Each structure stands twice: as C-alpha cells, then as structure tokens.
C-alpha cells in the first residue's frame, strides 16, 4: 500500500477516504463475495444498496476527521473550540449590542457648533427596577442650529443581550461624562434608539476566539501573562509593560552606552525589597481614565483590580496613560472621471482610519501603508505628494524617550511617522489635519 492510499491519522494529519474510493472498495468486496459476474451496473439493486451504504460510510469518515481536528485549537470549530476554551478557563465572550441612535440638540446657541467626539457615552434613561445601560458612539458628530439632528451608530459598553434594547428607547448623554468632556452650556442633547439593537445575544466568531486562546500564556508571572490580562480589560485598546529589571529595554537612550568591562549592566534586586514596574495603557476613544468621570468604570481602576490578582508579593505596578497622537494626511488624489469626489475621499479616510487605529503602542505610521490604504478606494488612479501629519501628544506622565511636545508637524514625502514607546497613533475622519485634493482624469 503506497502512502497515497493510506487513510485516517497520518504524519500530515487526517486523510478522509473519498466517496469514489469507498464505492470502489465496496464493489471489490461484492465481487469477492458474489463472484466476478455479479451485476454492479448503475441500475442494479445491489449497486443501489452499496451506493447508499457508501454515503453513510463517507459521513462517518467526515465525522472522524472533525473529531480529530476538534482536539487542536488551531483547527477546532464551534462546540469543539468551546470545550478547549473551557479547559484553559477562557470561555467564549458575547458580543456587544449595536444599533443606530437618533440625536437631537435642544436650546443650542446660534453661533456654536457642538462636537460629540467618538466614544461619547450615552446611557438609558433611569427607570425603576431596571439597570442603567451605557453605550459609546462609533464616530464623531457635529450638531448646530442649522443641523440639529444626526444619526450615529453606538455600541454597548457591557457585553451580552442586555444591550439589545428595543426601538424607541429613550437615551441621554451620561451627565458625568458630559461634565468632564463637554461644554454644552444651556444646550441639551436628546437621543432615541432608531431600531432594536442587535448582536448582543451572539458569541464572538471562531477566528476571534481562536486568536484569544492561542494567546493565553502558559505561565503564571511573566510580562506576557500580565499583559494578556490587561488587554482583556474593558476600554483598553493596547498596553505595554516596561520592566527595567525583567529585561533589556532597547528603546532607552542609555541602551548601547554601557561599559560592560567597568560596571554592572543593572542592579540586582534585594530579597524582600519592593519592586516597581510601569504599565502604559492606551484607552479607547472616549473611555474615562478614572472612575467617577462617567457611568462607565474607569480604565485605571479596572486595570489595578486585575493586576492585584496577578502580581507577586512586594511587586507593585505604576499604571500610566499612553500619549494619544493624532495623525493626519495631505495628498493629491488622481481619480477617474465619473466617480463622486466626496465619496472617494470618504472611502479613503475610512480606510486610513482602519489602518492607523489598528496600530499598537510605539508602532509608527508607515508611508507605504497609507498609500496602499488610499489606493484601495474605487476610482483612485494614483496618490501623489502624500505627506503624513501629526499633532503633538498630550503632555503625559511617561518619558520613555522620543515623545515630541510642541507644535504639530508635517513630514516630507515618503517619510514615516515614528512614535515613542509610550505613544499610540489615532486617526479620525473628522480631523482638520486631513487635506485631500482631487484631480479628475
């Protein structure tokens, strides 16, 4: 028997016996039992019985294949993946409910524009014996006297089907969040759910769940184990651990300047002495840093609660907020005739936002990635004279080298936008730093 004729578990995985091979084997056994002159033509009764049995046998082979691959995280699906997650203590998470909300501003001042940024916290109106639910807007909205209404997609803060509120539900801005982040004056913003919210009763996809399971550390106290717990906290976009005694921090200016022959590379920690390390956390847009700033729990306190359960004795974290760096672009777009210029601009800004907002802490914005994102828009022939822009980061608490404070910058054509280890890039389609000129061919 050659290697091509072996079925079942092998060196390369599980090989399923095909329906054609099953039928051929059954016909061979039929001839051996009833003789070479047995009628196995397509219209014979014996052939029909054998074909029906072959289909059932093939299903058994497929079930065996599914059971075999269901024992590995990389190939398991559905309930099999759920069982593997239970073994690791990581259940499949529910999704966050989503839906459109109709916003209306009342009593606005005639000469003011009211900006509700991405991440604006919207809550349900309190009703007796019902918990208040919080939602976050997915994009920025501008309301004025002339344009006093807008529709925005919102996402529930808490996972689960509790967020599937019915259409027509009365909502409002979180008073505490608005007091800390907005200056509405006498204006009031009313909100109503346009449709019944959805997705809260669904679980995360196999691909997302599989990625979480593959990232579960198999150790108790390492940077990877702690980082996995911090990244799972609500409101955390990304995080990084800076451990001066636990490893070499190559991003510091002092790296490479040590005289190994004349002094020690680092101090040894004395047994029983307290040891501190830094956790730099980048929060999602609009998410409060401290509790009390909104109905939503603050990222700082949530991260501390997680760390308390994982840190060893006498090892203390210093949780710091990352510096958010707003990124912009300026470019000339060559567009085919017949395409809507504004639609092309909107598609490019959405593509660039998705590309930039996927970046992690310290990861710079590559010129080539922005060009590629812009070229994916329908109708775009070329992207010329592209320049990346950056706002200076907010003056933060971390100083891991490279942070730039002062005015905004516009880089040269082809130059990448580099970020410090404690900085994270953020791009908004509403940013004033996006300047796109269109040339129609």
Task: Return the minimum-mean-pLDDT range out of 1-15, 135-149, 321-335.
Answer: 1-15
Going by pLDDT thresholds of 50, 70 and 90, the confidence category of residue 247 is very low
Cα 247 versus chain centre, distance: 28
222-259+271-318: CATH architecture: 2-Layer Sandwich (3.30)
Tokens of 128: 């007796």
Q: Are residues 191 and 167 in contact, defined by beta-carbon separation less than 8 angstroms?
A: no
Q: Are residues 405 and 391 in contact, defined by beta-carbon separation less than 8 angstroms?
A: no
Query: Residue 143 above 80 pLDDT?
Result: yes
What pLDDT score was predicted for residue 272?
55
Q: Using one digit for the tens of pLDDT, what is the confidence trace for 101-112?
A: 999 998 888 888
What pLDDT score was predicted for residue 297?
86
Looking at per-residue pLDDT, the higher value among 401 and 275 belongs to: 275
Mean pLDDT of the chain: 82
Going by pLDDT thresholds of 50, 70 and 90, the confidence category of residue 398 is very low
Going by pLDDT thresholds of 50, 70 and 90, the confidence category of residue 429 is low
Nearest residue to 69 via CA among 159, 5, 134, 8: 8
What pLDDT score was predicted for residue 171?
93
Percent with pLDDT over 70 in the chain: 85
Q: Are residues 237 and 231 in contact, defined by beta-carbon separation less than 8 angstroms?
A: no
Domain ranges of the chain: 3-69, 98-193, 222-259+271-318, 323-440
pTM of this prediction exceeds 0.85 = no
- Secondary structure of the chain in the HEC alphabet? CCHHHCCEEECCEEECCCHHHHHHHHHHHHHHHHCCCCCCCCCCHHHHHHHHHHHHHHHHHHHHHHHHHCCCCCCCCCHHHHHHHHHHCCCCCECCCEEEEEEEEECCCCCCCEEECCCCEEEECCECCECCCEEEECCCEEECCCCCEEEEEEEECCCCHHHCCCCCCEEEECHHHHHHHCCCCCCEEEEEECCCCECCCCECCHHHHHHHHHCCCCCCCCHHHHHHHHHCCCCEEEEEEECCCCCCCCCCCCCCCCCCCCCCCCCCCCCCCCEEEEEEEEECCCCCCCCCCCCCCCHHHHHHHHHHCCCCCCEEEEEEECEEEEEEEEEEEEECCCCCHHHHHHHHHHHHHHHHCCCCCCCCECHHHHHHHHHCCCCEEEEEEEEEEECCCCCCCCCCCCCCCCCCEECCCCCCECCCCCEEEECCCCCCCCEEEEEEC
What pLDDT score was predicted for residue 402?
47
Q: Using one digit for the tens of pLDDT, what is the confidence trace for 226-236?
A: 888 888 898 89
Average pLDDT, integer, range 87-110: 90
Average pLDDT, integer, range 21-40: 85
Query: Residue 403 above 50 pLDDT?
Result: no
């Amino acid at each position: 028997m050659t290697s091509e004729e072996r079925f079942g578990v092998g060196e390369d995985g599980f090989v399923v016996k095909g329906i054609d091979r099953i039928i051929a084997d059954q016909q061979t056994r039929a001839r051996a039992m009833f003789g070479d002159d047995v009628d196995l033509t397509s219209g014979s009764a014996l052939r029909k019985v054998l074909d029906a049995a072959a289909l059932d046998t093939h299903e058994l082979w497929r079930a065996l294949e599914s059971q075999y691959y269901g024992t590995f995280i990389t190939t398991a699906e559905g309930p099999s993946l759920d069982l593997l997650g239970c073994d690791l203590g990581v259940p499949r998470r529910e999704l966050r409910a989503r839906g459109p909300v109709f916003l209306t501003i009342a009593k606005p001042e005639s000469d003011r524009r009211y900006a509700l940024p991405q991440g604006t916290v919207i809550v349900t109106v309190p009703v007796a014996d019902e918990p208040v639910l919080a939602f976050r807007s997915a994009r920025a909205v501008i309301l004025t006297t002339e344009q006093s209404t807008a529709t925005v997609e919102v996402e529930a803060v808490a996972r689960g089907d509790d967020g599937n509120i019915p259409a027509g539900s009365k909502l409002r801005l979180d008073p505490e969040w608005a007091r800390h982040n907005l200056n509405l004056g006498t204006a009031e913003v009313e909100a109503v759910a346009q449709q019944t919210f959805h997705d809260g009763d669904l679980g995360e996809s196999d691909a997302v769940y599989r990625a979480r399971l593959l990232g579960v550390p198999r150790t108790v106290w390492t940077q990877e184990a702690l980082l996995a717990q911090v990244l799972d906290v609500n409101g955390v976009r990304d995080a990084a651990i800076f451990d001066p005694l636990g490893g070499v921090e190559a991003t510091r200016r002092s790296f490479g300047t040590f005289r190994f022959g004349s002094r020690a590379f680092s101090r040894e920690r004395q047994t029983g002495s307290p040891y501190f390390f830094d956790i730099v956390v980048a929060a999602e847009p609009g998410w409060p840093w401290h509790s009390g700033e909104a109905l939503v729990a603050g990222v700082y306190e949530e991260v501390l609660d997680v760390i308390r359960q994982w840190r060893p004795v006498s090892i203390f974290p210093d949780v710091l907020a990352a510096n958010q760096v707003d990124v912009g672009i300026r470019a000339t777009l060559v567009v085919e005739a017949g395409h809507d210029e504004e639609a092309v601009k909107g598609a490019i800004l959405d593509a660039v936002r998705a590309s930039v907002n996927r970046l992690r802490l310290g990861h710079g914005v590559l010129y080539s990635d922005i060009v590629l994102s812009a070229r994916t828009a329908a109708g775009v022939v070329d992207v010329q004279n592209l320049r990346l822009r950056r706002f200076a980061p907010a003056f933060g608490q971390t100083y891991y080298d490279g942070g730039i404070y002062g005015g905004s910058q516009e880089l040269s054509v082809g130059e990448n936008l580099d970020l410090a280890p404690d900085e994270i890039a953020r791009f908004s389609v509403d940013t004033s730093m996006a300047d796109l000129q269109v040339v129609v061919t």
